[in-house]
Amino acid sequence: MKKGSPYGTHRVLEPPGALPQGAWKIDNTMAIFDNEILIDVSALNIDSASFTQIRQEALGDETRVAEIVLGIVARRGKQHNPVTGSGGMLIGTVARIGPALAHRIDLEVGDRIATLVSLSLTPLRIDAITKIHLQQDQIEIKGQAILFETGRYARLPPDIPEKLALAILDVAGAPAQTARLVKTGDTVVVIGGGGKSGTLCIYEARKRAGLSGCVIGVSPIEKDCQRMKALGWVDHILQVDATHALALMEAVAAVTDGKLADVVINCVNIPDTEMGSILATREHGRIYFFSMATSFTAAALGAEGVGKDVEMIVGNGYATGHAEFALGLLRESPRLRQLFEQLYA
């Protein structure tokens, strides 16, 4: 059996020298190297920015969505959207473990797992798409995938339905990072607060900011605003399009007496919300761009252009213990669990 790189560079076909995530194309043959894990895949959770772009390109047609996804995987060997640059994650069953890993990991053949690394770096073969869930960003498939030696994973918990776990684990980094960023008394703005990651961030921000803090949810969509109101974890709801930077700044200023936000968490799945996030943040405040639709060039140069000294944090989807942290939120909040079961289970 061939020996592989811990980082999966042995799978890169083009360009030479790239790592799998940055590569244009990787080898998705399913004969494993000595340090790889073969997974029988049952479902993909496509990154929200990616799935939104695909759904729009397909005009909401499921057959066309399937064609686009199959085309991406055929061209690139992975589900790496060439428009958004993002992927998603998967759930499946461990089918084989390379001998170099057999005694070094806590997995066995037959274990049900979710991968905690992006589909944009995961060798993937799709044999058939069996069902598409347009509103949940999920696709049920028959196929296989490879997890590299350094790839993170989580066993699927017995107390949470698989589709619900898949949805939560895809955005587990967002609430975990929110817990690090928000302090007691902070004013926190969550852009995209009615969505999946945004709801988790609002819940965690409410806990961390406390009664002396202020949590503000932002969405241009009426049903999302109604959802935030019904959950009751926000102090203010702003029905504003975050791509309109000045409108967002003015709305946040109006409910904060001009002080703006200590922390802005951007969870949207569309582009061009960088400047709205920057202008809504106070001087020396912090912005967490969890959204994979973010242009970090636009954010960096935009902040410079308006003379705003803010700390901008790249939305790393991984944080130590983030999987168990996010699943724990469902266990501690019956209201949060009920909502996500209605939407994803």
Structure tokens at 206: 């409410």
CA distance 110 to 123: 20
Residues forming beta bridges with residue 94, ordered by sequence position = 39
Tens-binned pLDDT, residue by residue, of the chain (345 aa): 899 999 999 999 999 999 999 999 999 999 999 999 999 999 999 998 899 999 999 999 999 999 999 999 999 999 999 999 999 999 999 999 999 998 888 999 999 999 999 999 999 999 999 999 998 999 999 999 999 999 999 999 999 999 899 889 989 999 999 999 999 999 999 999 999 999 999 999 999 999 999 999 999 999 999 999 999 999 999 999 999 999 999 999 999 999 999 999 999 988 999 999 999 999 999 999 998 889 999 999 999 999 999 999 998 888 889 999 999 999 999 999 999 999 887
Contact partners, residue 54, CB within 8 Å, separation at least 6: 46, 65, 68, 69, 81
Nearest to 93, CA basis, from 108, 107, 112: 112
CB neighbour burial string for 37-56, b if at least 16 within 10 angstroms, e if fewer: bbbbbbbbbbbbbbbbbbbe
Residues 269, 171 contacting (CB under 8 angstroms): no
Q: How many angstroms separate the CA atoms of 40 and 9, rounded?
A: 22
> Distance of CA 124 to CAs 26, 76, 247, 316, Å?
9, 9, 42, 22
Question: Which of 38, 39, 15, 41 lies closest to 26 in space, CA to CA?
Answer: 15
Is 201 in contact with 265 (CB distance < 8 Å)? yes
Domains of the chain: 9-156 (no CATH), 173-344 (3.40.50.720)
List beta partners, residue 12.
Answer: 26
Instruction: Please name the amino acid found at residue 191.
Output: I
